Structure 1
Amino acid sequence: MANTLDGSAKNREAERVLLDVIKTLQDGQKGFAEVGEHLKDPTLKRYFLAQSLQRANFRAELENELHRDGMPDVSESGSVAGALHRVWADVKAKLGGGDSSLLEAAEEGEKSALDVYRDALEQDLPLPVRELLSEQQAHLLNSQEYIQRNREELVKA
């Protein structure tokens, strides 16, 4: 799988796409940790902290693909949308929105991440990268559904 991305214009576009996904994963990693810190339910708290670590692992997998192509380490900036989303989740927590509001914010974050993955998979990417993104996307979809189910249960309670 060496050199799955080379210097051609097509592969520079693939690199750009991967960088967008990596920034989204940075946002998710930070967002899950932030929400996890504020959740009161211990099971959800553990889940969110585990998901933060999972996003870091996904990011490392994608960065390895970029490193194979000789790209340097990716900055820790994340995206503007992700930073705003984390601030919103923090505000909800501080205003006493409770676990339901935090889950709502996380659910929205996962929907945004899934959009980024969907856009990435619409690009002409090397097969190993496409397979990796597809596997990660499936995990994000399961996570979004888990968060939604738990939010709906809290709303009913």
Structure 2
Amino acid sequence: MITLLPVASTDIPALWELRTRALRSQCAGHYDPLTLSTWAAAPAPSTYPALLAQGGGIKAYINGELAGYAILDLESNEVDAVFGEPRFGGQGVGKCLLKALEQMAGEPAALHLYASLNAVPFYEAAGYRAMKNTQYQHPSGILLDCVFMTRT
């Protein structure tokens, strides 16, 4: 059973460690090693505390263990992050988190996001539509290939 709880700023270090494990596990076949290592080594975004203060963060637990998290920018309706702990893959954590973000945004919110290449099928299965291939200027200085997607 998946339990959802709000995210607090004090959760950021644990969430960021989970995100780094997820990147290394799930993105390896989609990005070159240098890009992936630079991306994985980047610190948590300075925007996280403000997004969490808006109430846009949710974390998932399975049997008392952190299984994933998601963050929504409630002002722009941009999905900032959906990450699942790799060992809980296939158990519906990502779907549950994404649904929680959609409920936070309210219906019929037009959500958008920049999906990493490995995540595009996940978002398509959840009803998001690929609008264009693009690159995201990551704060670490690298350009990440991604897909801009929307759900209306």
TM-score range, shorter chain: 0.3 to 0.5
Tell me the TM-score normalised to structure 1 length.
0.32
Q: Which has the higher helix share?
A: 1
Higher strand share: 2
Which entry has the higher C-alpha Rg, 1 or 2?
1
Give the TM-score taking structure 2 as reference length: 0.33
Identify which of structures 1 and 2 has the higher relative contact order when contacts are C-alpha pairs closer than 8 Å and 6+ apart. Answer: 1
